[in-house]
Amino acid sequence: MTGPLAQANPRAEVPLLIDGPDVRIFESTVILEYIEERWPQPPLLPRSPAARAFARQTEEICDTQYEAINWGWGEILWFRRAEGELAKQLGAEARRQTRLMQEWLADRLGQAVRQGSRRGGRQP
């Protein structure tokens, strides 16, 4: 594979962060870590180690479990890996799993906000 994206990222995937002439960062988690270190104010992560771990766990679940659900559905939607009744069943399952993930995320993000407000600010 050739082209500017493939030169910057051997996987030729987005997201890709370009920072000046020499820095090319791929992988969303690594990009977030780079942003946090390169531009520390305002911080992306909360202050306490426990709250930071909570935020990182949330991101990890999105990167792995949630992405797998999205990707699986994308294989059917974009690449037509299944058709007919099987595609319908897999679509229904993807919707069910997406709903569970959304509920889990809403609850988890609510917990993070509540933890922050108990400590008198948005950042726990």
Q: Cα dist. 47→53, 112, 115 in Å? A: 10, 12, 12
CA distance 6 to 97: 32
Residue of 4, 13, 103, 111 interacting with ligand GSH (CB under 6 A): 13
**Least spacing, CB of residue 70 vs ligand GSH, in Å:** 8
Q: Does 65 help bind ligand GSH (rule: CB under 6 A)? A: no
Q: Does 6 help bind ligand GSH (rule: CB under 6 A)? A: no
Nearer to ligand GSH (CB atom), residue 25 or residue 46? 25
Q: Does 14 help bind ligand GSH (rule: CB under 6 A)? A: yes
Tell me if residue 122 falls in helix, strand or coil. coil
Tell me if residue 24 falls in helix, strand or coil. strand
Q: List interacting residues with ligand GSH (CB under 6 A).
A: 13-15, 27-28, 63
